[in-house]
Amino acid sequence: MSVEMLHNPRCSKSRQTLAILQENGVEPQIIDYLATPPSKERLQEILDLLGMSPRELMRKGEGIYKESNLADPDLSDDALIQAMLDHPKLIERPIVLANGKARIGRPPESVLEII
């Protein structure tokens, strides 16, 4: 089974999610999405797997969210996706992908549903 994890090692929830996976015998392929952001196509695929809109996947507490007026309801999904590509810290974390499914590790235990 191939498991990928979009991970930020400085995030406590991301570290907790990784630990839960490892405790369950899963060694995911770690993707430091801040250093290596997903492509537009991959981000759209992740959104589809999560069943979420771009706005739902965004970290609304980030300064860049407010500074860029990303709360504007008139912004298109393409504009929001582009903002996440330009500023990957806007992407909620961690995201685990396995078995054709995806989960956000909030709470960290939720990722076990797809393993």
List residues with catalytic annotation.
11
Phi and psi angles of residue 7, each rounded to the nearest 5 degrees, phi first: -125, 145
The rounded Cα 99 to chain-centroid distance in angstroms is: 16
Size (the chain), residues: 115
Q: Which of 93, 85, 108, 100 is nearest to 31 (CA)?
A: 93
